[in-house]
Amino acid sequence: MAIRNNTVSPTFGQNKIFTFLTVNTLPILQRIQVRAKTEAEARAMYAKVGVELILIIRQMEVVA
């Protein structure tokens, strides 16, 4: 994060990550809500998606 005019704004690389998360994860999370039959199944799916996203973000941070 960079500090400009007493506000905290994301750097270019962080903007790419935020955009990626916004565009790509919302449809995935919505599909999980539709497909999961139980709360436990939904939690397991959310956890799996979370782990994958962490790995993707780490790779994006290296590139950015």
CA distances to 38, 39, 40, 60 from 20, in Å: 28, 27, 27, 10
Whether 28 and 52 have beta carbons less than 8 Å apart is answered as no
> How far from chain centre, in Å, is Cα 29?
10
Give this prediction's pTM: 0.58
Residue 15 has pLDDT above 70, yes or no: yes
Coil, strand or helix: which one is 37? Answer: coil
Whole-angstrom Cα distance, residue 59 to residue 43?
Answer: 25
Q: What is the pLDDT of residues 19-37, one digit of tens each?
A: 877 788 888 888 998 999 9
Specify which residues 2 forms β-bridges with: 9
